Every structure is written in structure tokens, then in C-alpha cells.
Structure 1
């Protein structure tokens, strides 16, 4: 067989392939991956193990000491089962690699979608880079990654139907059946359905009489699809209550105002999101191409969500990416000069190579390499002992301290992962379950608000497990009613000066408290 340049190109990796294995290799092989930067991963794993071991979906909390047990909607139960199964087989390394694969696949698919618009390939590359940069803040080994992937698939199916490329609306209820049991982000699917429904209603009202029937038919299809998807949502352990859960969460103003990931973006930080937002505004200002009504609804809806909460920035990024790519026709209208000609020529050459590439050999090879590396122990991931209370929890496992603890919420996540059922926490990452009252009590203590001591008595707290560099730890160091029995750079453990802790206090009579180097006391 004659080998032509086209044949050689056939075996080169495409841009999408490069994107896939770059993300997969970086997240899998980089030893300090931030995928385990959030302790929530730990309680998700233990929740999944509980479900597997008991063959029941929990309706009440089992990880905290609160009595009676708190009502708990484990809305991510299927994700947690998957995570527990992977963890039992491959440990935390398997968890990181699995979610790295999902993130790689999600952005691989998104870029393939962007390339489908036949726009300038350099523009598509620039958009996907901004999307990735904007989404990095939420690349964590947690169930929301399932929502990110399913959102891309859902969006593609709806958009393809909307523009008449293909009709696969019948697949949406099956996706929803899976999605509703994986993560609360399933509500995003209904937002997209609603946006396209509103868009087609606007098109119907503004269209000429002969065209109104077409849009009316599209509206009917969307209403029917939405109804079937709603029925599919009921196939979950909590019935119709699962539909109310996301609304209950976002309507709790106290939680939304006090949980970091629900706060608005901090534009004083370096955020690719703001550049993506600026690009969106600029493009709408200079392009002559009019937005479709559905596109306008999507942009307004998800821009508002991203500005309200940084948690929604990744969703905003993947929603505006196809819109920005389609609107890029203005690039062709730029007058030719030496610079524009250079970039157009490069784009054409890259595009020719990219189009000639086919198959999935490179993504498959990348997955195989990572699997082999995991099998032979070449990849290892665990919680970072510099940010998580790894050593402190080992101390707790050795000493077996009795009584009710007061703990940092992030420490609660790791403690559930490492020390459940020996220890039960005051609070952890399931803040929606704990609710406003317990959260207010938590903040009243750590902020030393009026009558904070009464909260300690209310919950019969006899020991404290908190970060060393905190106001609470500094206060307890000076309070003779509390004794420090352990301290490192991450966590300190205090017990009340009570007879039941006499042995512990005598065993650790002079623990050196950790004082950060940048504090005035340390400098003195």
C-alpha cells in the first residue's frame, strides 16, 4: 500500500485526542493532584460502602452523633456506590483516575462538538482552553463530575434537535433516569429544556404565520419530552421529594451565603472565567450575527448563575462554548493583512491534518497506559497530609477519645473516611443535611458570638478537633478549662479538663502548640 501524507496523518493524534490524554495524564500522574483537595470525597466513599453493605439507601444520617438522627436525602447514592466499588478495588488512586477519565472524556466530547461547527480551528482551541481554565476550580473527585459529562451530552442532543441536524430527544428520559440518581445537577437538564422551550415560544410569537406551525410543533415535542423526563425522575429512592431537593438547597440563604463554593466569584483573583465572560460580551458587540432566542435565554440564565455562585462557572463555560464558536463567523470578515493571513493559513493546515485523523486509537492507548500504571503501582494518590488532618486522625485512632467532639467541617469529611464508625462528627460537608440551625451554632462557636459557650454545653461537647491556625484553637490554648493533647501544622486536639480525660492529660502534659511562622508571636 502506498503511504501518502494523508495516510500518515491518519495515525496522528487529533486535537481532541491531544486534549484527552493531556488532561488524563496530568490528573492521573501528577502526584499533587487537586482532585482530592476536597474532603467530601471521603464521606461519599463511606456512604457508598454503607449502601453496598446494607443494601439500603439511607434516609437518616449515620455519620454524626446528633440525636435523634438527622433526616438525610442521599441524592447522590448511585455515584457513591460507584465510588465505593472503585475504592474497594483500587483505593483513592482508582477514584482519582476514574474522575480524571470522566473529565478527559467530557472535554474531548465538547471539543468534538465545537469542531462540528466548521469554524476556525484556532478559535475552537482558544475557546476550549478558556473553558478548561474556567472549570479547573471545580475539578474534584466528587459526583458533580457525572453532571458535567451528562450536561454536555444532554446539551448536544437538544441543540442538534433544535437546529435540525438530528432528532434524538427520545434518549433524554433514559439519561435522566441515570442522572437523577447520580447527582442533583439533573436540574440543569430541565433548565436546558426550559430554555429551548422559551426560545421556541418566542420564535413562534415573532415568526410569520406560515412558520408558526413549525415552532408550535417543536414546543409540543419539548413539553412531551419534559413530561416524560419528569416521570423518569420519580424512579429514585425518594420519589417526588428528589425534585424538591435542589430548590430547597438553593433557597436556603444562610447556606448559600456561608458555604465557600456557593459564594460569588472573586474577580480579584486570576480567573479565566472573567476572560471568557469578556470575550462573550465583546463578541456580541462586534458580530452581526443575531442570537437565536434559545441561545439568548441560555446565556442570560447561566451567566446569572455563574455570577451568583462560583460553583456554576463550569456549567456557564460549557454552555457558552458552542454559542461562541457558532458566532465566530465574524472572523472571516476581518480584512486580510499579513497577520490575519498568517493565522488563517495556519488554521487551514492544522484543520486539514485534524480532519484526516480518524479512530479512537490515541484515547484508547492513553486509557490503557494509565490502567497499566495503576496495576503496577506507578500511580499513587492519597489525601494531602499538608492540608488534611492525616496525622491527627492517626492519633485519634490510637487514643480512642470518648465523648462528643466539635470539629472543623472539612476535618469531619476526612474523619468519616478514615475513622468511621469509631468516631462520629459534629459536622461535615453535608451542610444541606445539617441545615441552618446547626450551621448557625457552628459559626457562633468559631466566631465567638454571644453565648457561644452555651452551644458547647447544648451539644455536650467535651473535646475539640480543629485547625491549628484558627481563632478557636488560639483561644482554647489560653483557657484553663481545656487542655491541648495534640498539635501539628494542620490540626490541634483539645479535651475538657474533666476526670474522664485525666489519663490523656497526664499522658500528654506539655504538647507544643503549632504557631504559624507568619504570626506576630512567631516573629517575636
Structure 2
């Protein structure tokens, strides 16, 4: 084992080792700077708990008081991994896992670059820009789509190796698809990638049938999941459905994002300019026809497809960043190869990036990000210490956290599992309620709650505060707890303001599959 380790160091070389250490420290610094855990993590932990502690995949919801259907959990495997890390290594391990997954993406991309170019794959500045472009998408530990982003990059590496003659690697892909299909519904991006290679190689006038056969085999193994063939119908529906009420599924230039995601937009513009200039220079040297004949169609199909995904859905920006890193790195350094840059340039870049990482470590304690301004921590604690039982209505983003903390005493209206569990009408119904649209009372008439946890920023907060039917019994900085007026006349215990208490008890739950 020791000789293997030393062999890997020699293989990478001194520059490669420094590159990977610097890159990992940068990623770890940003991962530890996260302000809160992802809102859907709690449902994933419950799903993982069901498998590890309960011995079975959860196929029916038990957390909600509203109508539900079969729990089509296309992320159940991620939940098992997350809960395994939490159970055996503690909460900090989830932050480390986030860093490792992010590092895995960039490490694999560097191996793709090494395959594709004779130039040094360790120019860290390009990686830095790609990482910064999507940091807003990757910086809340830990989300299931990280597995899709990692496996998407791994598939590019495998398929690039296949293009260079390693055809036996195609046998690995169906087995990876089985794993991918059971950790995240983004497995369709893997199938799409294989199809892109088939089409690209067809246009390149190179062997393409092997990709089609691999794609067919990979599609068949989608049947290997806890629900069987019926899950395939759900997967197709989930990947084609519109999500107009989920902000991260909105377009990059939608009204909400027009002045957001600036770093990614600059990165995207830079990539487009690099490729435009590169294509123009090649056409100028030869001709349009000759450029087209020599152009790698696979590369451009992947770049255009992932650019379309990025423009359509902010959630999918990392696919374009990954594709750009793998396929544009070489073009960028070809364009600047004749620039006379000072010899100390590389050292200065590494010093700056290491300095940024160390500065982040120094100003941010490595501790559990409680997310006091993101989660209704005190409001949930208020309900717990006062033993308030019953059905809770909240915005769906907080539902799984409320379940994790308050089940079995309380059931929820809904949570972020959305199409996995709930009917289509639930989110529009909830939106009408929070925005106090004309039919806003339907939500509480159809599915009456006993308790409400509401954000102060929404119109419903002021509307209920002014009503006679509901009374605000606890008001925090960002949220409030409402009870029916007839039950709100007693004196209530108040939650503590101690931040460390909330950090230390963040992962404490009443859910127990062992009893």
C-alpha cells in the first residue's frame, strides 16, 4: 500500500501534488463557510434512517397529514450515504463529504484534461474560475445532486478513454448507472451524455454503435430499483415536469435571476468568447469546411446542450461548468500561449488561492452551521418545549426539518420532496395561501392545521396577525408561530437564545425505526 501511494505521488509529480492540495484546501474552506445545511437534507436522513435502522426502503410517507401517493424516492441511496456518515462519523462528516464530492468532480475533470491535451492540466486559475462560478449551487451541505455532477464528470472521463481505445471500460457504465439511478434521478443526464457521444462520433465519422449498445444496456438496468418498472414512469415524469414554483428551476435570465448569479454569467460569457475566438482563428487559418471536418462534434454537442440546461434552469448550472472545464481548458491556454507572462505568475496565483483558503479558515470556526436566519430553529424549539401537538403548516422548504425535529408529535402539510410524495395541486395551493390571493383560505379549509410556522416576509403573516381566528404566540426575528385563538391564552415557555444549544441539538430527532 505504501509503495502504491508513493507511486501515485511520483505519477502526479510535485506540481500535481501541490495543485491537488491547494485545490482541496480551497474547496474545504468554502465548504466549512456554509451558513446552513440544505433544506432537503432532513428528508434524506429520514430515508437513510429507514434503510440503515429500519432495514427497508421507505415507500410510503408517514410524515404528512395531507393526501400523498407512493413515495417515489429517486434519492433514497443518497439518504443512506448521508445517514451513514452522520450516524458513524457525526455532523461534521457531512461537511467533509460535501468537500470530497466537490473535489472529486474537479479531480476527475483534471484527468479528462490530461487525456485531451499535452499542456499541463494543473493551471489552477481556470479551475478556480469554474468553481467560483457555481459555488452558490454547491455550497450548502449536502445535496443529492452532487452525485449526479460527480458521475457526469466520471462518465466524460470514461467515454474519453473509450474514444482513445479503452473500449472495455464501456462494460462499467451499466453498473455505474445502477448506482446512479438509486442515488439521484439525475441519472438521465448520464444517459443523455452517452447519447451525445453516439451522435457526436457519428458526425465525426467514427465508430458510434458501441455507444448505442451501451445506452440500450444502461436504459435496461434502470429497472433495478426498489419500485421496479413503475419507477421508470415516475422518473420520466419527474425529469420532464415543469416546476414554476421552485426558484432554482427558473431560467438564468428570468426576472428573479436577472441581477443574480453574476459570477456564473461572467464565466459563461468568457467560455462563449473563448470558443468563438478559437473557432474564428481556426476557420481563418483553413476554411469553414475544413474546420467542420476537423472539429470534435462531441465537444460542441456537450457544450451546447449543457449551455441550454444552464440557461433554462439555474439548478443545472454545474453541468455547463463541468463541460467547460473538460473541453474548453485546452482552447483557453492555446489562445494565451503567446502571451509573455512573468515567470512568478503561477507562484503568485497559488499564494493568493492558499491565502484565500487560510483566511477563510481563520475567520470562520469549523462548527455546525445552525442557520439561525435560514431555519425556524427557535420556533420549532418553542413547539417542542411547550408540547404542542398536532398538524403543522409551514412553507414546504422547512417541512422536512420540522418532521425531523417534531415527529411523531406533529405532522406536516408538505415538504421539499414535492413530486416524490405530493399531488400537483399542493404547491399552487400553498402559494395562494402565503401570498393571500383571493382563494388563500382554501389551504386551511381543505387541510386544517393546528399550528403554523410562517415567515414574516410573506403577506400571510400580517393577515393572520390581524385576524381573530389565529394568534401569534411566538415571534422570532424571521418566523412566527400561530395557534388558533381559543388555544392561545396560556402562558408559554420561551426557547433559549443560546446558539450552541441549537448547534449541539441540530441533528437530535424523535424518529426511531428500531423500536
* TM interval, short-chain normalised: 0.7 to 0.9
Cα displacement string for residues 313-339 of structure 1 (whole angstroms, at most 9, x for unaligned residues):
0111101212112323642674xxxxx
**Cα distance in 1, alignment partners of residues 122 and 22 from structure 2:** 16
Residue 10 (structure 1) shift: 4.1
Residue of structure 1 equivalent to 2:510:
none
Residue 394 (structure 1) shift: 1.0
Cα displacement string for residues 83-108 of structure 1 (whole angstroms, at most 9, x for unaligned residues):
11221223322212222222122223
Residue of structure 2 equivalent to 1:94:
93
**Cα distance in 1, alignment partners of residues 136 and 476 from structure 2:** 28
1:386 and 2:373 aligned: yes
Instruction: Answer with 1 or 2: which has the greater Rg.
Output: 1
The two structures have a TM-score, normalised by structure 1, of 0.79
Residue 386 (structure 1) shift: 2.4
Distance 1:284 1:155, change over 3 A: same
1:144 and 2:145 aligned: yes
3-state SS of paired residue (2:91) = helix
**Cα distance in 2, alignment partners of residues 251 and 112 from structure 1:** 32
Residue 119 (structure 1) shift: 5.8
1:429 and 2:429 aligned: no
Residue of structure 2 equivalent to 1:239:
228
Residue 446 (structure 1) shift: 0.9
Query: Are the aligned partners of 1:119 and 1:325 in contact in 2 as well (CA < 8 Å)?
Result: no
Residue 510 (structure 1) shift: 13
Residue of structure 2 equivalent to 1:356:
none
The two structures have a TM-score, normalised by structure 2, of 0.80
1:451 and 2:439 aligned: yes
**Cα distance in 2, alignment partners of residues 118 and 220 from structure 1:** 26
Residue 165 (structure 1) shift: 6.6
Cα displacement string for residues 214-273 of structure 1 (whole angstroms, at most 9, x for unaligned residues):
x3xx222111111221222221112233433343124332xx211011111224125222
Gaps of 5+ in 2: 1-9, 283-290, 351-356, 496-515
Residue of structure 1 equivalent to 2:154:
153
Residue of structure 2 equivalent to 1:178:
179
3-state SS of paired residue (1:184) = coil
**Cα distance in 1, alignment partners of residues 125 and 131 from structure 2:** 10
Cα displacement string for residues 344-384 of structure 1 (whole angstroms, at most 9, x for unaligned residues):
x5579999x9xxxxxxxxxxxx9xxx9xxxxxxx9431431
Query: Are the aligned partners of 1:92 and 1:382 in contact in 2 as well (CA < 8 Å)?
Result: no
Query: Are the aligned partners of 2:403 and 2:410 in contact in 1 as well (CA < 8 Å)?
Result: yes
Cα displacement string for residues 140-174 of structure 1 (whole angstroms, at most 9, x for unaligned residues):
30111122211111111112222447752121112
Matches within 5 A, 1:97-136: 97-118=96-117, 121=120, 124-136=123-135
Query: Are the aligned partners of 1:485 and 1:494 in contact in 2 as well (CA < 8 Å)?
Result: yes
Residue 178 (structure 1) shift: 1.1
**Cα distance in 2, alignment partners of residues 399 and 330 from structure 1:** 66
Residue of structure 1 equivalent to 2:60:
60
Residue 116 (structure 1) shift: 4.4
Residue of structure 2 equivalent to 1:14:
18
**Cα distance in 1, alignment partners of residues 451 and 178 from structure 2:** 44
Distance 1:91 1:415, change over 3 A: farther
Which of these residues, 290, 311, 314, is aligned with residue 307 of structure 1? Answer: 311
**Cα distance in 1, alignment partners of residues 185 and 129 from structure 2:** 26
**Cα distance in 2, alignment partners of residues 118 and 197 from structure 1:** 22
Matches within 5 A, 1:269-348: 269-287=260-278, 288-289=281-282, 290=291, 291-328=295-332, 330-331=334-335, 334=338, 340-343=339-342, 345=343
Distance 1:39 1:426, change over 3 A: same
**Cα distance in 2, alignment partners of residues 349 and 490 from structure 1:** 45
3-state SS of paired residue (2:450) = strand
Query: Are the aligned partners of 1:20 and 1:107 in contact in 2 as well (CA < 8 Å)?
Result: no
**Cα distance in 1, alignment partners of residues 89 and 14 from structure 2:** 35
Distance 1:244 1:137, change over 3 A: farther
Residue 124 (structure 1) shift: 4.2
Residue of structure 2 equivalent to 1:249:
238
Residue of structure 2 equivalent to 1:492:
480
Distance 1:122 1:237, change over 3 A: closer
Residue 438 (structure 1) shift: 0.8
| RMSD between superposed Cα atoms in Å | 3.1
Query: Are the aligned partners of 1:160 and 1:167 in contact in 2 as well (CA < 8 Å)?
Result: no
Query: Are the aligned partners of 1:157 and 1:167 in contact in 2 as well (CA < 8 Å)?
Result: no
Residue 122 (structure 1) shift: 9.0
Matches within 5 A, 1:37-76: 37-67=37-67, 69-76=68-75
**Cα distance in 2, alignment partners of residues 329 and 46 from structure 1:** 47
**Cα distance in 2, alignment partners of residues 250 and 388 from structure 1:** 28
**Cα distance in 1, alignment partners of residues 201 and 250 from structure 2:** 33
3-state SS of paired residue (1:44) = helix
**Cα distance in 1, alignment partners of residues 121 and 147 from structure 2:** 29
Corresponding residue pairs, total? 453
Residue 118 (structure 1) shift: 4.1
Distance 1:129 1:333, change over 3 A: closer
Residue of structure 1 equivalent to 2:426:
438
Residue 416 (structure 1) shift: 1.9
Gaps of 5+ in 1: 1-5, 205-214, 335-339, 354-365, 371-377, 512-524
